[in-house]
Structure formats: C-alpha cells, structure tokens
C-alpha cells in the first residue's frame, strides 16, 4: 500500500494545512484581541487605583508635613503676639515645650539682643556670635518670613531654621525645627510593600526620607525629571520614571502649600502592576493552552469528518489504479463525501463488471487468433508440400512431352502432335501455377529468406529487357527503359525476389496492353529507390484497387481466361515488397493504363562513397 | 494521534510573538539619561595665600586620590579677584567674605553641589547661611579671625576693655593702625555702637568725626605685622588695632603682647573656598574642598597657620596647647556682637573711602 501511495503525486498544497493555518490565525487574532482587551482593562483599572491611592497618600503626606509647619508658624505667631513682660521668657519656654518639633526658640530685638530663649537640647541659635549677619535674622528683621534649607549639625542631627519678624521690637523670632520628627512622619507614610514618600525642596535636596541615610548623604534630585515635573505642575502630578535610586516607579508629587517643599510618593512598578502582570501571565498561559486545545480539537475533528475519509477514497482509487477493481469504500454517513464515496463504489462495480466481460472477449479472441494462425501455417505447409508433390509428376509430363515433340523416340502424326503440344502447353501453365503457389506459400509460411547481394540497377534493367523484350515484339509495343543516373551504381538486394517483382509487373503490363508502350523506370526517391512500371493498357477500375493485390484476384473472372496468368502475380509482388520493407502503389485510370510503383529502401554500403565520388 | 504538522511550530511562534507584543504594549518608563560621569582630573589649580596650607595636606590628598594640587599664590585679595576677572583658570580659590559677595554679584562662581560636600556639616552654625552668601550657595567657610586691640603690656598699665578706650588721651601719639579702610572705619562705627557695614549717612558722619578725634593718637600706619611689632616695641607705639597674627609675629620675635577683644564687639574676617564658574575640573574641586572639610585635615591646616577654623571637629583633634589657646579658639562670650565686614554698594563704599582718606591725611574736607 505504501508503495502505491508513494507512486502518487504528493500534494503540494495540503488542504489540511491550509484549513489548519486559516483557523489557527483566526483563533490567534481573536484570542490576542480578547486578551489584549482584558489586559488593558485590568491595567487601566490598576493604574487608576494606584493613582488614586498615591494621590491620597501624597495629600496625606503633604497635610502631615504642612500641619507640622503650620504648627510652627502658629507658634511663631503666638510668640509675636505676646506682650513685653517680665514673664515673657518663661511664657515662651512654657509654650515651646508643648511643641515636640520645636527644639529651640530664640527671640531677638533689632540689635540681636536676646529677649527670650528656650531649647530642649544643646542650644545652637543662642550661642551664635554671627546672628547679626545670619540670613534668618536679617530676613525676619527686614519683615519677612524665613524657611531655611536643611542643615545637619556636626552630630548629624537634621534641623531647619524658621523665623518671622518680632513686630514689637523690630526684631526676630526664630525656631530650630527638629527634622527627625518630619522624617518619622514621612517614614510612617507607607502604602503597599514598596510605596513610600519623601520630601524635597525646590532645589531637589531631599529633606526627609524613610531611609535617613539618603537625607544624611545630602542626596539631591536636582535636575531630575520628576522634580522638573513637580515644579511645573500644580496639584498632584503622576508619572512613571526611574527614581533617583534607579527603581522603576510610578510616582506622584505635590507641593506643600506655602513652601517650596514637595512631597513625592513612589511605588515600584513591579508592585503597582503586579495584578496586570499576573493577569498577563495567566492570560498568556491560558491563551496558549486554549489555542493548542482548539487547534488539536479542530484538526482531529476535521481529520475524522473529512480528511481520513478522503484518504480512504484516495487509497481505494490507488488500488483501482493498481488494478484491484474489487474495492468498496464503506460509507459512514451520507453527506457530500458519502455521496462521492457511493458514486465511487458504483463506478468501481461497473468498471469491474465491464472489465470482466472485456477480458473474456479478449481471451476468446486470442484463442481464435492463435487457431487461425496455426491453420494458416498448416494450409501453407500443405500447399507447399502439395505444390512440390504436384511439380514432380508435372515435370515428368513436361519432360516426356518435350521428348515427344522433339521427335525423339516416337513419330507422331499431325493430330497427335497437336494433342501433345496442348499437353505441353497446359503442363507448362500448370508448372507456372504450381511455382507461383510455391512462392506464395513459402512467403506466407515464413520460409522465404531474402539474401542481400550487390547488384547493378542498370544490369537489372538489361536483364528484364532481355527476358521480356520478346513480349513487346510479339504485340508490337514500345518498351522504354529509364535508369535514373542518381541511383547508386550498386545496390544491395535479393536478386531472385527483385526478378520476380520485375517479371510479374512487366509481364502483367505487356499482358494487359494491346497498343502503345510499356515503360520501366528505375529511379531514386530520397533514401528509397523505385521500380515504376507503367503501361497504356486497359487499366484497373477504381473499385478493384482495394483487392487487386489479393491472391487469385484479377479485375474480373473473365480476364483469366482472356489474358491468362495465375492471378497470383500481384499478390507475390506485394508480399515480396513488404518482406523487403517497401511498398507497392497502384495508380490507374480505366482505359488509360496503369502505373505500379514499387518503393524500396536503398540498401547500399557503398551509397555514400559513390555519392561522394559523384559529388567530386 | 495525528503527527504534529511542522507548521504548528510556526503558529506557536506567532502566538509567542503575540504575547511578546502584549508585553511590549505595557507602558514603558523612559530610561533616565545617563548623567555625565564624574571623572577625577589628574590635577587641579588652587589659588591661595602663600604659606597658608602645609605641603603635607597636599601630599595627603595626592596620596589618597592621585590628584596633584597646583598652588598658584596671590599677594592680596585684590590680586585674586583681578585674576578671576581676567578669566584665569583655577579650580579652587580662597576668597574672603567681602570678595565672595563681589564675585557672586559678578556671576563668577559656580553653585556648589552639596551631594559632594557632605562634610559641610562640620562647619559651625556660626558660619552658615550668612548675609554675604545666602544658603552657602557658592562658598564654604575656611578660616576666620578677629580684629582686636594689640597691647604691649610693658608700655601700658591701664586696663583696656573697649574700642572707646583707644580715644583716651593717654594714647595720643601711641596708636599704630593697619592700612585698612574697612577695619578702621568699622572700628569707629563699632565704638559708636553701629554696624561696621552701615549705609546710614548720619552714622557715617558720626564715624568721620569719631575718627578725626582719634587722628592725633595715630603714630603709624603699617602694612605688615613685623612693622607693627617694631613700632610697639622699639618705636613710640604702645597699642594697636590689629589681628591675632600680629601677636604670633611678636611671639616669633620673643615679645609677649596682649590681645583684647573689645566689649562693643569685634570685627570678624573670614576666608572661604569657592569654585570659579570657569573651573574645568569642578567635580575634582568639590572632592578637594570636601577633603579639606574633614576635621583631621582642617586640624592639620590649623596646626600650620594658627587661624581659627569654622570646623567644629577640629578642637578635639588638636593639641591641648592649641585647644586652650583663646587666640585660636576664642570663647563664645567674647565673640558676642562680633561683626563680619560685608560688601557695600559702590556709592557707600566711596563714602567709606573718603572717610578713610580724610583720616589718613588728617584733614577735614
């Protein structure tokens, strides 16, 4: 079976593959669109959620920081409102102790003389001998509020100096704000696992961060995009970026009212987009599984419904081609393929029946043919034997009548001589007839062997003129012989057979011509040569052209008696010509004469050489 | 099972690509542009006073970082600012307070990157965020010192506690004064209880009268500590308005002078590190300045030049002798009411010049 299948042309465009490809692409597009849609939906929802969370946290952080600053500002305002009194210093001290973020307070008059001081740790401001040149004092003295930038003491304690004018003395009130507390505030702002917040001023210096070492290192986000965005926007500002620690985050920023401070909240993108990331993995995995399942299912389905049935038909057709007509394909269901299968089955059944009949007829024909051939052979053999056996007594008759007519042995009177002459004539005819029979039967029984010997066409023509010229003289006919000079000087052929052909054709011509001429042409016709015998005799009616070459046929029955001959001449000619690989053709017009053209292949090893000589 | 068509592999490939496409669709965070890498130069140019820093400190820096320090010295602050104005190339320059303000106004200084100057925290709050350079945006305090009354105790027996005391008749023809316009006018203002940086015309007029009253006391104007020591010892001088350095100069010659910080408040001077705007190696310059901000390095310098350091970490690193030297580590209480000399508007500066010239010539216009 495999062998047979492989002999069939392979499908170059597999239907199964086309169908599979088309539906796979279709599935893929649909699944991709669906999953992309779902993913984007989750992603957007997640982003919105984180934005609102960040917004909340940023605002919370800003409010907490702002509260601290406002408390400090409020404290400064309260001190400013206090009257000058003996208890001023102790009142200041008393109020200051209620504000945990305030580490030190100093109240100064316009000449930087100290009006009140209070501190919860080692004083810094109170010990300064450069107050008069310090910007926090000069600003306040000039009537402005002052918010200094982040400072570190040599003990690494972060602080910020805030000051405002002391109205009544044209002086200043300044506080040292504990930034560690703000760091604590910021550290407390956490959301999710990685969400955190930090505080930076407009120069980018980080003022507070959950990781204090970042603050301690004077870390600055100056020049970074998130700072530029924060400075350029009002309200909460969202963006995705790599933060100063190199983390990929989504962040928000918000300015703290009344300051150049900005709170930043950041959450790592890995966390922020965890849900959509997981969704992507599950969607992707599910999508692949669904895709594989769908493809396999449809392939299997199509295989069972269509392709395996087509394959069975194909296999059956292959078997039919290989000759096994006794094939029936089972019909599973009567759909389109079922109908096709049914038609196929009917076709093979019909083919089978017809082929059986044909084979029977062929066998009969073969047997008949063999029988006929054998019969024919037996007939020829019989004829041959018969002719031979006939010729022996006929030769005796001929011999003895010849002796008698020669006057040897006996004296015959005129009457007896006449009878002996008739015996002789008839026995000669009988011998001719028997000879012709012998020829025919030899040819037909396949025992006629042709021997190619070299001969000269002009010698052949001469020979025939000598043998048959007498017939022309008897009937006073013109006998014209032409030999084509283009013919090779020597040809190969069977001398005996050629003589028979020439004699038969020429004797026929003379026989059926009463006046006029008989013409013999030997000519070259390409690679062949021709013997053309034409006469001006009675001609052959067109209906006789078909059977003129058959044995025992002359134009009509009367001609035998009138013209003599055995009626085997043309049959012998034709058989010999065929045996020599040539053809014989008749052109004739009733009453106008006949032309027999024998065309034979030139067989001459010298042909080329001679042609070459001639060409020279 | 159906044999798996080869094309399916292709299909799965497409699928995978699709998934990749999905992933690629996720919003992409813009990659931060790589900041220009901070590379250390092989050498930097420092513009400073002669004999201000010991060679050891340069050697130590070179040893630690491989960076050579090329020192280009100047004779005066005027020369330093002139070089800056001529766009000479320096990476770090030592400038005093007044000139820092001038250079800032002329936009010749580079804003400092405090992420590279983490040791700034060692600087005393006394020297942070002062008027001449808000937020220390351009300058880092380096040295400072006071201006006081130098007394040869062998020639003066009455106690001196205030600037005012110099106007005593006792000192007529005995006062030695530095060739210094701002210090001299500033002391007159301090003696009157005014700021030495005042722009008030009335206060300046009073200061002129005050100075003219002092003129008979002046025996000499000097331009070097050695000259002052000579005048106070072998000359007619007995007291002087001078620097701590003058005391050390006298000590070098075997004299012991008294140094008094007057009650009205002393005048303060301060030197600062700045990085010129045209510095080709500003990163390395920051590294060097931060190196000098480290207490042990500041201490090494102090032990060499005896100038007071604004670095709070220095005190515990120097010898007891130095730490207890009130000239180098003046106690806080005597520094109360001290005033830094600040840059003045040109018109006001001119007025100070006129007062100074009148004083030197001893004539009222």
Chain A residues close to B113, C-beta within 8 Å: 220
Q: How far is B15 from chain A (nearest CA, A)?
A: 7
Q: Is A547 within 8 Å of A540 (Cβ atoms)? A: no
Say how many domains are in chain B: 2
Q: Is A607 within 8 Å of A489 (Cβ atoms)? A: no
Helix (H), strand (E) at residue A498: helix A495-511
Q: What residue of B is the nearest CA neighbor of A220?
A: B115
Domain shared by B150 and B262, yes or no: yes
Domain shared by B211 and B135, yes or no: no
A609 pLDDT band, cuts 50/70/90, is very low
Partner residue opposite B22 with nearest CB, options A25, A148, A284: A284
What share of chain A has pLDDT > 70, as a percent?
Answer: 92
256-275 in chain A: CB under 8 A from chain B: 269, 273
The answer to whether residue A299 neighbours chain B at the CB level (below 8 Å) is yes
Smallest Cα–Cα separation from A327: which of A343, A311, A344?
A344
Residue in the structure block whose two tokens are 């982003």: A47
Phi, psi at A102, each rounded to 5°: -90, 115
Q: Given an 8 Å threshold on Cβ–Cβ distance, is B114 in contact with A220? A: yes
3-state SS string for A299-319: HHHHHHHHHHHHHHHHHHHHH
The residue-averaged pLDDT of A55-84 equals: 86
Smallest Cα–Cα separation from B282: which of B118, B65, B110, B140?
B110
What share of chain B has pLDDT > 70, as a percent?
Answer: 89
B36 pLDDT band, cuts 50/70/90, is low
Length, in residues, of chain B: 365
Q: Given an 8 Å threshold on Cβ–Cβ distance, is A132 in contact with B32? A: no
Residue B5 is predicted with a pLDDT of 47
Q: How far is B166 from chain A (nearest CA, A)?
A: 24
The answer to whether residue A248 neighbours chain B at the CB level (below 8 Å) is yes
Domain shared by B209 and B246, yes or no: yes
Partner residue opposite B131 with nearest CB, options A20, A135, A152: A135
- Residue A438, classed as helix, strand or coil, is helix
pLDDT in tens, B173-196: 999 999 888 999 999 999 998 989
Chain A residues close to B127, C-beta within 8 Å: 130
Average per-residue pLDDT for chain A: 83
Residue B22 is predicted with a pLDDT of 56
Is residue A458's pLDDT more than 80? yes
Q: What residue of B is the nearest CA neighbor of A35?
A: B22
Chain A residues close to B268, C-beta within 8 Å: 130
**Comparing A380-389, A424-433, B87-96, B331-340, which segment has the lowest mean pLDDT?**
A380-389
Is residue A153's pLDDT more than 60? yes
Q: Is A186 within 8 Å of A212 (Cβ atoms)? A: no
Chain B residues close to A283, C-beta within 8 Å: 22
Q: Is B103 within 8 Å of B81 (Cβ atoms)? A: yes
Domain shared by B134 and B52, yes or no: yes
B316: in domain:
yes
The residue-averaged pLDDT of A394-421 equals: 80
Domain shared by B151 and B256, yes or no: yes
Residue B283 is predicted with a pLDDT of 94
**Comparing A408-422, B164-178, B269-283, B314-328, which segment has the lowest mean pLDDT?**
A408-422
Q: Given an 8 Å threshold on Cβ–Cβ distance, is B32 in contact with A125? A: no
Domain shared by B140 and B151, yes or no: no
Length, in residues, of chain A: 616
Query: Does B140 or A603 have the greater pLDDT score?
Result: B140
Residue A9 is predicted with a pLDDT of 60
B15: in domain:
no
Query: Does A447 or A19 have the greater pLDDT score?
Result: A19
Is residue B33's pLDDT more than 60? no
Domain shared by B97 and B119, yes or no: yes
Counting other chains too, the contacts that A350-354 makes at CB distance below 8 Å and 24 or more residues apart are A351/A320, A351/A325, A352/A325, A352/A326
Q: How many CB atoms lie within 10 A of CB A235?
A: 11
**Comparing A115-119, A503-507, B37-41, which segment has the lowest mean pLDDT?**
B37-41
B34: in domain:
no
> DSSP for B146-209?
EEEEEE-TTT--S---SGGGGGSGGGTTTEEEES-HHHHHHHHHHHTT--TT---HHHHHHHHH
Counting other chains too, the contacts that B313-316 makes at CB distance below 8 Å and 24 or more residues apart are B313/A154, B313/B122
Bridge partners of residue B139, in order along the sequence: B274
Beta-carbon contacts of A527 under 8 Å, excluding residues fewer than 6 positions away, are A601, A602
B333: in domain:
no
Q: How many CB atoms lie within 10 A of CB A279?
A: 18
Q: Given an 8 Å threshold on Cβ–Cβ distance, is B131 in contact with A217? A: no
Q: Is A423 within 8 Å of A463 (Cβ atoms)? A: no
Instruction: State how far the alpha carbon of B61 is from the alpha carbons of B38, B91, B115, B288, in Å.
Output: 18, 15, 20, 8
Residue in the structure block whose two tokens are 């730490």: B323
The domains located in chain A, with CATH, are 82-181 (3.30.450.20), 352-448 (1.10.287), 449-615 (3.30.565.10)
Q: How far is B93 from chain A (nearest CA, A)?
A: 23
Residue range of the domain that includes B302: 43-144+269-328
Q: How far is A34 from chain B (nearest CA, A)?
A: 11
Is residue B240's pLDDT more than 50? yes
Query: Does A433 or A536 have the greater pLDDT score?
Result: A536
Q: Given an 8 Å threshold on Cβ–Cβ distance, is A225 in contact with B8? A: no
Q: Is A198 within 8 Å of A209 (Cβ atoms)? A: yes
Smallest Cα–Cα separation from B120: which of B271, B322, B298?
B298
Is residue A616's pLDDT more than 60? no
Residue A2 is predicted with a pLDDT of 40
The residue-averaged pLDDT of B77-93 equals: 93
- Residue A25, classed as helix, strand or coil, is helix
Instruction: State how far the alpha carbon of A204 is from the alpha carbons of B110, B210, B285, in Å.
Output: 17, 50, 22
Q: CA A174 to CA A166: how far, in whole Å?
A: 9
Q: CA A480 to CA A465: how far, in whole Å?
A: 9
Residue in the structure block whose two tokens are 């040869």: B152
Is residue B26's pLDDT more than 60? no
3-state helix, strand, coil in chain B (%, to 5): 45, 20, 35
B107: in domain:
yes
The verdict on pTM exceeding 0.95 is no
The residue-averaged pLDDT of B209-238 equals: 91
Give per-residue burial for A324-361: e unless 16+ CB within 10 Å, then b: ebebebebeeeeebeeebeebbeebeeebeeeeeeeee
pLDDT in tens, A206-264: 998 888 889 888 888 988 888 888 888 777 778 888 888 888 888 888 888 878 889 89
B17: in domain:
no
**Comparing A279-288, A490-499, B4-13, B267-276, which segment has the lowest mean pLDDT?**
B4-13
Smallest Cα–Cα separation from B337: which of B90, B163, B105, B221?
B163
Smallest Cα–Cα separation from B1: which of A292, A306, A289, A300?
A300
The answer to whether residue A154 neighbours chain B at the CB level (below 8 Å) is yes
Burial of B234 (0-12, 13-18, 19+ CB in 10 A): exposed
Q: CA B336 to CA B333: how far, in whole Å?
A: 5
Residue in the structure block whose two tokens are 């299909």: B11
The residue-averaged pLDDT of A158-177 equals: 91
Domain shared by B50 and B130, yes or no: yes
Q: How many CB atoms lie within 10 A of CB B89?
A: 13
The answer to whether residue A142 neighbours chain B at the CB level (below 8 Å) is no
Domain shared by B250 and B348, yes or no: yes
Q: Given an 8 Å threshold on Cβ–Cβ distance, is A269 in contact with B128? A: no
Is residue A275's pLDDT more than 70? yes
Q: How far is A185 from chain B (nearest CA, A)?
A: 23
Q: Given an 8 Å threshold on Cβ–Cβ distance, is A21 in contact with B195? A: no
Q: Given an 8 Å threshold on Cβ–Cβ distance, is B129 in contact with A153? A: no
Chain B residues close to A16, C-beta within 8 Å: 5
Query: Does B67 or A572 have the greater pLDDT score?
Result: B67
Chain A residues close to B293, C-beta within 8 Å: none
Q: How many CB atoms lie within 10 A of CB A306?
A: 16
3-state SS string for A249-309: EEEEEEECCCCCEEEEEEEEHHHHCHHHHHHHHHHHHHHHHHHHHHHHHHHHHHHHHHHHH
- Residue A541, classed as helix, strand or coil, is coil
What is the token pair recorded at A352? 């089978």
The residue-averaged pLDDT of B270-295 equals: 95
Residue A443 is predicted with a pLDDT of 78
Smallest Cα–Cα separation from A154: which of B298, B200, B50?
B298
Domain shared by B225 and B347, yes or no: yes
Domain shared by B218 and B350, yes or no: yes
Domain shared by B178 and B278, yes or no: no
Q: If phi over 0 gives left and psi between -120 and 50 gives alpha, with beta otherwise, what is residue A394?
A: alpha
CATH of the domain at B233: 3.40.190.10
pLDDT in tens, A327-344: 888 888 888 888 988 998
The answer to whether residue A218 neighbours chain B at the CB level (below 8 Å) is yes
Q: How far is B252 from chain A (nearest CA, A)?
A: 30
Which value, to the nearest 10 degrees, does the dihedral of the CA atoms of residues B100, B104, B109, B111 take? 110
Q: How many CB atoms lie within 10 A of CB B57?
A: 17
Phi, psi at B233, each rounded to 5°: -100, -65
Query: Does B69 or A181 have the greater pLDDT score?
Result: B69
Q: Given an 8 Å threshold on Cβ–Cβ distance, is A134 in contact with B130? A: yes
B27: in domain:
no
- Its ipTM equals 0.84
Instruction: Give CA A293 to chain center in angstroms.
Output: 27
Counting other chains too, the contacts that A518-521 makes at CB distance below 8 Å and 24 or more residues apart are A518/A472, A518/A477, A518/A478, A518/A479, A518/A480, A519/A479, A519/A480, A519/A481, A519/A482, A520/A461, A520/A464, A520/A479, A520/A480, A520/A481, A520/A482, A521/A482, A521/A484
Q: Is A458 within 8 Å of A590 (Cβ atoms)? A: no
Burial of A104 (0-12, 13-18, 19+ CB in 10 A): buried
Q: What residue of B is the nearest CA neighbor of A221?
A: B115
Q: How many CB atoms lie within 10 A of CB B341?
A: 22
Smallest Cα–Cα separation from B104: which of B272, B281, B347?
B272
B28: in domain:
no
């Amino acid at each position: 079976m495999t062998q047979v299948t492989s002999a069939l042309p392979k499908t170059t465009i597999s239907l199964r593959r086309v169908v599979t490809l088309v539906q796979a692409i279709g599935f893929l597009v649909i699944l991709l669109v669906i999953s992309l849609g779902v993913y984007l939906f989750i992603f957007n929802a997640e982003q919105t959620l984180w934005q609102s969370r960040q917004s909340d946290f940023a605002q919370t952080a800003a409010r907490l920081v702002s509260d601290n600053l406002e408390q400090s500002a409020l404290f400064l305002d309260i001190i400013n409102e206090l009257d000058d009194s003996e208890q001023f210093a102790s009142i200041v001290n008393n109020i200051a102790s209620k504000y945990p973020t305030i580490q030190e307070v100093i109240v100064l008059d316009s000449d930087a003389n100290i009006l009140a001081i209070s501190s919860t740790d080692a004083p810094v401001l109170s010990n300064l001998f450069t107050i008069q040149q310090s910007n926090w004092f000069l600003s306040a003295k000039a009537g402005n509020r002052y918010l200094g930038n982040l400072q570190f003491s040599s003990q690494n304690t972060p602080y910020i100096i805030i000051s405002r004018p002391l109205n009544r003395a044209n002086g200043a009130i300044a506080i040292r704000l504990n930034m560690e507390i703000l760091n604590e505030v910021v550290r407390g702002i956490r959301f999710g696992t990685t969400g955190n917040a930090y505080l930076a001023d407009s120069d980018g210096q980080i003022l507070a961060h959950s990781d204090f070492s970042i603050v301690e290192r004077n870390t600055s986000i100056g020049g970074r995009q998130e700072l530029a965005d924060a400075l350029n926007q009002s309200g909460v500002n969202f963006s995705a970026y790599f933060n100063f620690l190199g983390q990929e985050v989504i962040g928000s920023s918000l300015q703290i009212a009344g300051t150049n401070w900005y709170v930043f909240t950041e959450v790592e993108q890995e966390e922020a987009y965890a849900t959509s990331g997981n969704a992507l993995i599950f969607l992707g995995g599910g999508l692949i599984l669904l895709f594989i399942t769908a493809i396999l299912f449809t392939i299997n389905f199509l295989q069972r419904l269509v392709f395996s049935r087509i394959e069975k038909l194909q296999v059956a057709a292959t078997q039919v081609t290989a000759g096994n007509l006794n094939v029936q394909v089972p019909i599973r269901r009567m759909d389109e393929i079922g109908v096709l299968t049914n038609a196929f089955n009917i076709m093979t059944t019909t083919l089978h029946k017809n082929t059986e009949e044909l084979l029977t007829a062929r066998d009969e024909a073969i047997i008949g043919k063999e029988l006929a051939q054998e019969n024919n052979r037996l007939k020829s053999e019989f004829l041959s034997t018969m002719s031979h056996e006939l010729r022996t007594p006929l030769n005796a008759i001929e011999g003895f009548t010849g002796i008698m007519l020669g006057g040897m042995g006996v004296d015959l009177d005129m009457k007896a001589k006449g009878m002996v002459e008739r015996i002789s004539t008839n026995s000669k005819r009988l011998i001719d007839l028997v000879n012709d029979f012998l020829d025919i039967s030899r040819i037909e029984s396949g025992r006629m062997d042709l021997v190619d010997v070299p001969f000269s066409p002009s010698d052949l023509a001469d020979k025939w003129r000598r043998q048959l010229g007498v017939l022309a003289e008897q009937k006073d006919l013109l006998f014209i012989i032409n030999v084509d000079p283009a013919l090779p000087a020597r040809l190969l052929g069977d001398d005996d057979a050629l003589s028979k052909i020439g004699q038969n054709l020429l004797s026929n011509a003379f026989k059926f011509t009463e006046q006029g001429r008989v013409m013999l042409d030997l000519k070259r016709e390409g690679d062949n040569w021709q013997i053309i015998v034409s006469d001006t005799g009675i001609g052959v009616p067109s209906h006789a052209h078909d059977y003129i070459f058959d044995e025992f046929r002359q134009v009509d029955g009367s001609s035998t008696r009138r013209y003599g001959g055995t009626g085997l001449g043309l049959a012998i000619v034709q058989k010999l010509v065929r045996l020599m690989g040539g053809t014989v053709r008749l052109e004739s017009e009733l009453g106008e004469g006949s032309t027999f053209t024998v065309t034979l292949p030139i067989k001459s090893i010298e042909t080329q050489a001679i042609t070459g000589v001639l060409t020279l | 099972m159906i044999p798996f068509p080869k094309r399916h592999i292709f299909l799965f490939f497409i699928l995978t690509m699709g998934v990749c496409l999905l992933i690629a669709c996720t919003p992409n965070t813009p990659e931060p542009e790589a900041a220009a890498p901070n590379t250390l130069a092989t050498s930097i140019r420092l513009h400073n006073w002669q004999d201000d820093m010991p060679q050891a400190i340069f050697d130590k820096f070179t040893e630690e970082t491989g960076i050579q320090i090329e020192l280009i010295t100047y004779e005066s602050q005027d020369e330093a600012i002139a070089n800056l104005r001529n766009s000479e190339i320096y990476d770090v320059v030592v400038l005093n307070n007044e000139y820092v303000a001038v250079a800032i106004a002329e936009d010749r200084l580079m804003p400092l990157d405090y992420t590279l100057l983490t040791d700034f925290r060692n600087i005393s709050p006394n020297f942070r965020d002062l008027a001449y350079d808000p937020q220390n945006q351009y300058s880092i305090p380096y040295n400072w010192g006071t201006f006081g009354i130098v007394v040869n105790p062998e020639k003066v027996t009455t106690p001196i506690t205030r600037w005012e005391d110099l106007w005593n008749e006792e000192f007529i023809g005995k006062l030695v004064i530095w060739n210094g316009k701002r210090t001299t006018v500033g002391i007159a203002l301090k003696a009157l209880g005014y700021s030495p940086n005042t722009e008030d015309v009335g206060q300046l007029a009073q200061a002129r009268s005050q100075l003219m009253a002092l003129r008979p006391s002046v025996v000499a104007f000097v331009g070097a500590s050695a000259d002052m020591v000579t005048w106070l010892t072998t000359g007619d001088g007995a007291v002087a308005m001078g620097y701590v350095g003058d005391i050390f100069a006298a000590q070098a010659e075997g004299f012991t002078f008294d140094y008094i910080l007057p009650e009205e408040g002393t005048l303060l001077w301060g030197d600062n590190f700045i990085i010129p705007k045209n510095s080709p190696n500003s990163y390395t310059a920051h590294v060097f300045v931060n190196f000098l901000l480290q207490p042990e390095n500041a201490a090494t310098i102090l032990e060499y030049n005896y100038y007071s350091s604004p670095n709070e970490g220095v005190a515990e690193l120097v010898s007891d002798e130095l730490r207890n030297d009130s000239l180098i580590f003046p106690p806080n209480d005597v520094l109360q009411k001290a005033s830094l000399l600040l840059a003045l508007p040109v018109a006001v500066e001119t007025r100070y010049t006129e007062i100074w010239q009148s004083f030197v010539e001893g004539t009222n216009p």
